[in-house]
């Protein structure tokens, strides 16, 4: 981000009162979920619309990490595995995530990266359907999902079949072992109907794996109600667990006893400290564990998840829909056809982000960042904005669109310093 001070318009440029900043403040006052922004350590003067990539820092996480390092590790040393409850961290964090995804805590494992858990659950699913040879993915899925699936297909001698995002069910037949889809598309924010597609897969005898990275923490989910087989999600986006925070996996309870994951290591053993030569899987989703729990990451994540304790998840979704709808309304009114809204306008078909297409999207994002409005860019031409409902306000949305108008009016995106794509965004 630029070191210069953020620059926002100083006056209300909208001549329509219903689209003005005062209207935004009224929306915040009447929102179903009162903004919890004060629970986060966000810089002053910043509109942060990139929580769908890295969530903001919740208050208390820094103190928790410091206490874990200096008190539990520094003073408690190895005794903290028992005295500070380190061994129980995956279970405690899994219970908190279970509430957010509609899952029994015993069906949730926390502790690996998203990629590792995708691999484990894809292999486990394929092993549960040994007479089937096809993995089905959607072609615009997050690249990691495709890369991992290709590796699993190569390892097990399976076929990788790419489906059409408009109708994934059309690619299902009795050869399919697993349908693996991302619930909310990372580029466009388009959202699949999980229940309908899970039913469609089950109708042909296939299993389903859902990638929930862009869903969890922005809306209520219910893995049990939709009868999902597997799900994987990260915790550093809407869950605010910090960069590289441990991921989680869900396994339907009906599959626990029959599931065989490919990395059978000591922490997935039913009795790890007996140090026996033969492997016996732990009960529940705990059998997905392999190595030692990442204590620092899990401690930070546990503290971050406390923010959700008093949050009504339906209100979370209502706030998300209101924010994204307000953004689209303002973009339509103030920019017209100067940008293309590629995110579904029907709220039932989108997650908590809106993406705009423009051939100078990279420069637009960089110019906005220099103004203190942080979104991100996705190749080749998308400016992407995430609306984390816990801390983004309707006034934030108004200010972001006002800044976007000025960036386009002044052609700030064409500045030479924005021509080279050398940043994470």
Other beta carbons within 10 angstroms of residue 420's beta carbon come to: 9
- Torsion-angle region of 222 (φ positive above 0: left; ψ -120 to 50: alpha; else: beta): beta
DSSP string computed for 276-329: -SS--BPSGGGGG--S---HHHHHHHHHHHGGGGG--HHHHHHHHHHHHHHHHH
Other beta carbons within 10 angstroms of residue 210's beta carbon come to: 27
| Whole-number CA gyration radius for the chain | 22
CA–CA separation, 13 vs 19, rounded Å?
A: 10
Other beta carbons within 10 angstroms of residue 169's beta carbon come to: 16
Q: Does residue 352 contact residue 389 with C-beta atoms inside 8 Å?
A: yes
CA–CA separation, 192 vs 343, rounded Å?
A: 13
* Catalytic entry in 120, 237, 287, 350: 237
* Catalytic entry in 127, 142, 332, 334: 142
CA–CA separation, 363 vs 383, rounded Å?
A: 9
Picking from 390, 425, 395, 392, the residue whose alpha carbon sits closest to that of residue 58 is 390
* Catalytic entry in 211, 229, 376, 399: 211
CA–CA separation, 102 vs 92, rounded Å?
A: 15
Which residues, other chains included, contact 76 with Cβ-Cβ below 8 Å and sequence gap of 6+?
A: 83, 84
CA–CA separation, 314 vs 335, rounded Å?
A: 31
CA atoms within a 13 Å half-sphere pointing along the CA-CB vector of 394: 25
Tell me, yes or no, if 237 is annotated catalytic: yes
Tell me, yes or no, if 142 is annotated catalytic: yes
Between β-strands 340-341 and 376-378, what pairing exists: parallel, antiparallel or unpaired?
unpaired
* Catalytic entry in 112, 308, 384, 391: 384
Tell me, yes or no, if 236 is annotated catalytic: yes
**Strand partners of residue 134:** 159, 176
In the 8-state DSSP scheme, what is residue 225? T
* Catalytic entry in 119, 192, 236, 250: 236
Catalytic sites, residue numbers: 142, 211, 236-237, 384
């Amino acid at each position: 981000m630029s070191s210069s001070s953020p620059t926002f318009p100083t006056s209300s440029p909208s001549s329509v009162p219903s689209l003005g900043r005062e209207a935004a403040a009224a929306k915040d006052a009447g929102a179903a979920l009162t903004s919890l922004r004060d629970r986060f350590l966000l810089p002053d003067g910043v509109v942060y619309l990139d929580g769908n990539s890295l969530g903001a820092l919740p208050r208390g996480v820094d103190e928790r990490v410091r206490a874990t390092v200096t008190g539990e590790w520094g003073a408690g040393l190895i005794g903290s595995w028992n005295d500070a409850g380190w061994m129980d961290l995956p279970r405690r964090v899994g219970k908190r995530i279970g509430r957010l995804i509609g899952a029994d805590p015993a069906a949730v494992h926390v502790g690996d990266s998203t990629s590792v858990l995708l691999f484990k659950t894809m292999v486990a699913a394929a092993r549960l359907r040994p007479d089937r040879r096809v993995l089905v993915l959607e072609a615009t899925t997050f690249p990691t999902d495709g890369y991992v699936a290709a590796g699993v297909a190569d390892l097990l001698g399976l076929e990788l079949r790419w489906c059409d995002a408009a109708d994934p069910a059309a690619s299902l037949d009795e050869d399919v072992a697993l349908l693996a889809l991302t619930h909310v598309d990372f580029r466009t924010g388009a959202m699949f109907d999980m229940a309908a597609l899970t039913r469609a897969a089950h109708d042909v005898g296939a299993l389903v794996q859902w990638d929930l990275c862009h869903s969890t923490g922005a809306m209520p989910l219910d893995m049990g109600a939709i009868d999902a087989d597997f799900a994987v999600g990260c915790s550093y986006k809407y869950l605010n667990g910090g960069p590289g925070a441990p991921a989680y996996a869900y396994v339907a309870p009906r599959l626990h006893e029959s599931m065989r994951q490919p990395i059978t290591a000591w922490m997935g053993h039913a009795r790890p400290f007996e140090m026996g030569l033969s492997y016996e899987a732990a009960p529940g989703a705990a059998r997905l564990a392999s190595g030692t729990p990442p204590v620092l990451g899990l401690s930070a994540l546990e503290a971050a998840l406390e923010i959700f304790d008093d949050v009504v998840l339906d209100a979370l979704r209502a706030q998300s829909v209101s924010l994204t709808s307000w953004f689209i309304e303002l973009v339509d009114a103030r920019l017209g056809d100067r940008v293309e809204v590629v995110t579904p306008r029907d709220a039932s078909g989108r997650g908590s982000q809106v993406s705009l297409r423009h051939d100078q999207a990279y420069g637009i994002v960089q110019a906005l960042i220099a103004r203190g409005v942080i979104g991100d860019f996705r190749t080749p031409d998308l400016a992407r904005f995430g609306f984390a409902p816990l801390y983004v306000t309707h006034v934030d949305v108004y200010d972001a669109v006002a800044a976007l108008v000025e960036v386009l009016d002044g052609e700030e995106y064409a500045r030479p310093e924005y021509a080279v794509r050398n940043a994470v965004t």
